[in-house]
Structure 1
Amino acid sequence: MSLKELLPGKLGFGTAPLGNMYRAIPDDEAAATIEAAWQHGIRSFDTAPSYGAGLAEERLGRALATRPRDSYVVSTKVGRVILDETEDGERDLGEKSGLFRHGNPNRMLDSLTAEATERSIEDSLKRLGTDRLDIVWVHDIAQDIHGDQWLARFEEARTGAFRVLSRMRDEGVIKAWGLGVNRTEPIELTLALDEPQPDGFLLAGRYTLLDHEHALQRLLPMAREQNVDMVVGGPYSSGVLVGGTHFEYQPAPRHILDKVARIQALTARHGVSVKAAALQFSLAHPVSAAVIPGATKPSRIAEDTAALDETVPAAFWADLRAAGLVSPAAPLPDGA
């Protein structure tokens, strides 16, 4: 099943912040944010075991417990198994190390073998309090893309997670699977394999106003040719586009801040919100099925839904292109 057929709308909800990303979030605030997403019509929820060592999945499960299971779509990820024992200090999550220091203290096993994949899914079902998953993403294959370890991790995924998820899809246990990554290379490699193919992919932070050139070079043409859909994660580039200070999970460098300032100047000139520009840009590519910003406050959900419906004048997109702030190859809304 294609992601465009499976997903119930263009806007989903990413729960990474609810794993206590960057800060400790009270349970009632997390629950209120998920409730706000529901009240605004969002019916697609994305999570992962690594978001606070199971915390985001637990919170999402509690919040959705009273909702009819057929009324929403939930996706989670495999690649890290949450263990019962706890540990102190920073976890090694590559470039994401330190993000979830306020999450659960459980130790995590980093593995994409068949056995770990099956266990991860079983544990996620328990934390989410559900009897089934709709989409499963293979998480963070290529954290060290500039080294050579990611190829070994990819091979473990190819012979383990990929085959388990393909079988589960064929058996009807899950509806779809794909890769959930913030690098384009593992998706390109997967699409080139002569093996059971993923139904789509979740690309975080790599098809945004700030960073989209690389995805346009090879990945998105391949995906379009093979009718593979994309879910865009991190459309606000770790928050720096909308007033935050992080880019790619780290303090934003000066050249990124300068680019953000140029984009914000254009949005101000045209009376457009930055969120509207960011979300609508990410959705304009024909491969895009949905976009899933994260949030930790109910008010952010209202902003996201309003941004999706906001009218953005063609003149804004034309000026954005003329200023060299988007690639000439990037499709823009309404053919602008």
Structure 2
Amino acid sequence: MSLKKILPGRLGFGTAPLGNMFRAIPDEEARATVEAAWDQGTRYFDTAPFYGAGLSEERLGEVLSAKPRGEYVLSTKVGRVVLDELEEGARDLGEKGGLFEHGNPNKMLHVWTAEATERSIEDSLKRLGTDRLDIVWVHDIAQDFHGDLWLQKFEEARTGAFRVLSRLRDEGVIKAWGLGVNKTEPIELTLALDEPKPDGFLLAGRYTLLDHEHALQRLLPMAQEHNVDMVVGGPYSSGILAGGAHFEYQQAPPEIIEKVSRLKALAHKHGVSIKAAALQFSLAHPVSAAVVAGATRPSRIAEDIAALNETVPAAFWDELRAAGLVSPAAPLPNNA
């Protein structure tokens, strides 16, 4: 099913930060943030077992389990099974290092087999306090976590998770499935398969105002050809476009800081908030169904909603294009 028919709006709430990404967030702050999102009309929530070894799902479930299930859309991910056993020493997360060092201390299995997929879904339902999921993403079968072994992980998912999720969709247990990754290649590979066919994908950090040229070369034309939709994750490029210091989940390098400075200067010149430019850019592509922005403070929710609705003058997009700060191939809002 088309994601655009499933999703209730163009702005969703991404809950990776609720898994204590980068910092330990008090439970009451996490709870207040989810409540703020709900109170201000957010009805699409995305999470994953990976986010804090189940912590994000637990915190989200604490709030959403008290809401009418028919009033919101929920997506989570498969590929990590959270164990009761505790992790000893630092986690091996590839390029993502200590991303969730403040999350739950439980050990996680990184596995995409059919059996693990079914167990992952059952565990997620318990943590979330719900009886069903709407969308399930196959999480992180890409180079950033697995290096040269990523194709091996992809094959495990192709013969395991892909088939399970296709069956669950066909049985009406879930509405849609796809890949949730930080790289374009696994999605391109999936779209090239004869079977099974995903309904869409969640692409994190690869279709942002700051970083989008690679996705435009192959992936997004393929997605249009196959009529699949994209949810844009990480529209603020790990926070650097929203006043943070991270890009690609690490401290931003000088060249990125310099480009962000140019973007902000141009936004300031036209009286545009950089958040508005970021969200509206990511949504301008025909394949984009929604963006999911993360937050750990209630005030951030109002900022995101305001950014989505802010009027951005065509002159800003024109000058952005003229300055070479966006790809010539990138569709811009209002056909600028």
User: Structure 1 residues 100, 147: closer, same or farther in 2, change over 3 A?
Assistant: closer
Residue of structure 2 in register with 1:158 after alignment: 158
Query: What do residues 70-120 of structure 1 show as CA deviations (whole Å, max 9, x unaligned)?
Result: 000000000000001002322111122201111000000000000100000
Instruction: Please tell me whether the aligned partners of residues 94 and 145 of structure 2 are also in contact (alpha carbons under 8 angstroms).
Output: no
Displacement after TM superposition at 1:243 (Å): 1.2
Instruction: Please tell me whether the aligned partners of residues 53 and 104 of structure 2 are also in contact (alpha carbons under 8 angstroms).
Output: yes
User: Structure 1 residues 278, 119: closer, same or farther in 2, change over 3 A?
Assistant: same
Query: What do residues 8-62 of structure 1 show as CA deviations (whole Å, max 9, x unaligned)?
Result: 0000000000000011000110010001101111000000001000000000000
Give SS of 1:194's match: coil
- Name the amino acid aligned to 1:18: L
- Output the CA distance in 2 between the equivalents of 1:89 and 1:50: 17
Displacement after TM superposition at 1:218 (Å): 0.4
- Name the amino acid aligned to 2:301: I
- Name the amino acid aligned to 1:195: E
Query: What do residues 172-216 of structure 1 show as CA deviations (whole Å, max 9, x unaligned)?
Result: 111100000000000000000010210000000000011100100
Residue of structure 1 in register with 2:326 after alignment: 326
Instruction: Please tell me whether the aligned partners of residues 48 and 57 of structure 1 are also in contact (alpha carbons under 8 angstroms).
Output: yes
- Output the CA distance in 2 between the equivalents of 1:89 and 1:302: 39
2:55 pairs with 1:58: no
Residue of structure 1 in register with 2:132 after alignment: 132
- Name the amino acid aligned to 2:271: G
Corresponding pairs, count: 336
Give SS of 1:264's match: helix
Instruction: Please tell me whether the aligned partners of residues 24 and 103 of structure 1 are also in contact (alpha carbons under 8 angstroms).
Output: yes
Alignment of 1:254-265 (within 5 A): 254-265=254-265
Residue of structure 2 in register with 1:243 after alignment: 243
- Output the CA distance in 1 between the equivalents of 2:42 and 2:294: 12
Alignment of 1:187-198 (within 5 A): 187-198=187-198
Residue of structure 2 in register with 1:307 after alignment: 307
Residue of structure 1 in register with 2:292 after alignment: 292
Residue of structure 1 in register with 2:21 after alignment: 21
User: Structure 1 residues 145, 110: closer, same or farther in 2, change over 3 A?
Assistant: closer
Identify unmatched segments of 5+ residues in structure 1. none
Residue of structure 1 in register with 2:97 after alignment: 97
- Name the amino acid aligned to 2:101: R
Residue of structure 2 in register with 1:170 after alignment: 170
Residue of structure 1 in register with 2:110 after alignment: 110
Residue of structure 1 in register with 2:5 after alignment: 5
Give SS of 1:163's match: helix
- Name the amino acid aligned to 1:35: E
- Output the CA distance in 2 between the equivalents of 1:74 and 1:211: 27
Instruction: Please tell me whether the aligned partners of residues 17 and 296 of structure 2 are also in contact (alpha carbons under 8 angstroms).
Output: yes
Give SS of 2:77's match: strand
- Output the CA distance in 1 between the equivalents of 2:52 and 2:18: 8
Instruction: Please tell me whether the aligned partners of residues 95 and 143 of structure 1 are also in contact (alpha carbons under 8 angstroms).
Output: no
Displacement after TM superposition at 1:124 (Å): 0.2
Give SS of 1:231's match: strand
Identity of aligned residues (%): 81
- Name the amino acid aligned to 2:302: A
Residue of structure 1 in register with 2:141 after alignment: 141
Instruction: Please tell me whether the aligned partners of residues 53 and 106 of structure 2 are also in contact (alpha carbons under 8 angstroms).
Output: yes
Residue of structure 2 in register with 1:274 after alignment: 274
Give SS of 1:4's match: helix
- Output the CA distance in 1 between the equivalents of 2:308 and 2:302: 10
Residue of structure 2 in register with 1:199 after alignment: 199
Query: What do residues 224-281 of structure 1 show as CA deviations (whole Å, max 9, x unaligned)?
Result: 1111000000000000112111100111000000000000000000000000000000
2:41 pairs with 1:41: yes
- Output the CA distance in 1 between the equivalents of 2:146 and 2:4: 32
Give SS of 1:164's match: helix
RMSD: 0.9
Give SS of 2:218's match: helix
Displacement after TM superposition at 1:146 (Å): 8.7
- Output the CA distance in 2 between the equivalents of 1:39 and 1:145: 36
